[in-house]
């Protein structure tokens, strides 16, 4: 269940979640939230996401998602994977599992 701040953030970014019915948007998973914002959000949205969840949590979700399978990794654009891998490697805590290749 998402807290009120995250629900407000999802509502502000509602157009990015166009494929999700309006009555289901506030209850999307954090994995989908992170994936959508990193892929399609603007700079302001990414910064808001990092402030809401924390860079370590976002990095953990990102790395877990791209490490699960090639299919899940394919949900992210190649440039998004490359860019945020570098960002999180530099700024997130080192105890996060890194991509295996």
CA angle 67, 48, 29 (to 5 degrees): 45
Q: What is the DSSP letter of 16?
A: G
- Residue 81 confidence (pLDDT) above 80: yes
Question: pLDDT tens-digit profile of 8-63?
Answer: 999 999 999 999 999 999 999 999 999 999 999 999 999 999 999 999 999 999 99
Q: Where are the chain's structural domains?
A: 4-91
- In the structure, what pLDDT confidence band is assigned to residue 78 with cuts at 50, 70 and 90? very high
């Amino acid at each position: 269940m998402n807290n009120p701040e995250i629900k407000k953030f999802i509502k502000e970014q509602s157009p990015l979640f166009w494929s999700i019915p309006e009555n289901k948007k506030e209850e999307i998973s954090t994995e989908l939230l992170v994936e959508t914002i990193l892929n399609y959000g603007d700079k302001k949205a990414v910064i808001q996401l990092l402030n809401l969840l924390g860079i370590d949590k976002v990095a953990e979700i990102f790395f877990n998602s791209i490490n699960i399978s090639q299919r899940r990794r394919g949900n992210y654009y190649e440039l998004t994977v490359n860019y945020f891998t570098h960002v999180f490697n530099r700024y997130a805590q080192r105890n996060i599992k890194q991509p295996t290749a």
